[in-house]
Amino acid sequence: MGSTLKNPDKTALLVIDIVNSCCHEKCEEPNDGITYNKIREMVDGRLLGFIDRFRKEVNQNVIIMGLKPWTREYLPQNIIRLYDENPLVSYFGEEGFEDEFYHILPAETDFVVRKNTYDSFASPGLIKYLEDKGITDLVVCGVFTDGCVLSSIVSGFSKGYNFIIPRDLVETTDLPVRQELQKLLLDYTIPVQYGRVIESGDLLLQG
């Protein structure tokens, strides 16, 4: 049985925002409905093993997206204004622990990029890496499905890249409304407009 990757030599794995501020229980805000139980289950139970499999069975084109400190000093003005004008989305972090990767140890061959906005493709370093490697297809995993994952897919698609999204390797907060939105995105919006959505178990990495 052959691989389900159409262009394995031109494929990269893009892992988005597996950092403490988006995963660790110390960074949860239960009073605001922000908890990460489903995210931790996804990361520890499925994603870490999948990353290792990709490195061994496909190639070494693994991109680990992280965050610059999510503070006024590093964020663009439009995000600062959004947060200042709308307390419903207000969030500023603290430099340090929140920015560290959660349970992920990048390999020497991984390409690590830190961004200061939702869209991974707003990072010039990522674009250069993809162009230098001749990458056309990306397998996308990470958090939040309805946030940085979605923003990155929409932006990358507009730049001509092709996407595969393993639905069990993306996740959002436990908040019911966000879980419902995630389901709608994976069941309809993303597969209709931006890429293939499949279970990671159905993504055959090698022939």
Beta pairing class for 170-171 and 62-67 = unpaired
- HEC letters along the chain: CCCCCCCHHHEEEEEECCEHHHHCHHHCEHHHCECCHHHHHHHHHHHHHHHHHHHHHCCCCEEEEEECCCCCCCCCHHHHHHHHHCHHHCCCCCCCHHHCECCCCCCCCCEEEEECCCCHHHCHHHHHHHHHHCCCEEEEEEECHHHHHHHHHHHHHHCCCEEEEEHHHEECCCCHHHHHHHHHHHHHHHHHHCCEEECHHHCCCCC
pLDDT digits (tens, 9 = 90+) for 80-93: 999 899 877 767 77
Written as tens digits, the pLDDT of the chain (207 aa) is: 457 888 999 999 999 999 999 999 999 988 888 899 999 999 999 999 999 999 999 999 999 999 998 888 999 999 999 989 987 776 777 778 999 999 999 999 999 999 999 999 999 999 999 999 999 999 999 999 999 999 999 999 999 999 999 999 999 999 999 999 999 999 999 999 999 999 999 887 765
Provide CATH code, domain 8-202. Answer: 3.40.50.850
Q: By the 8 A CB rule, do 83 and 117 touch?
A: no
**What values do phi and psi take at 6, rounded to 5?**
-70, -35
Say what the pTM is: 0.94
Cross-strand partners of 197: 165
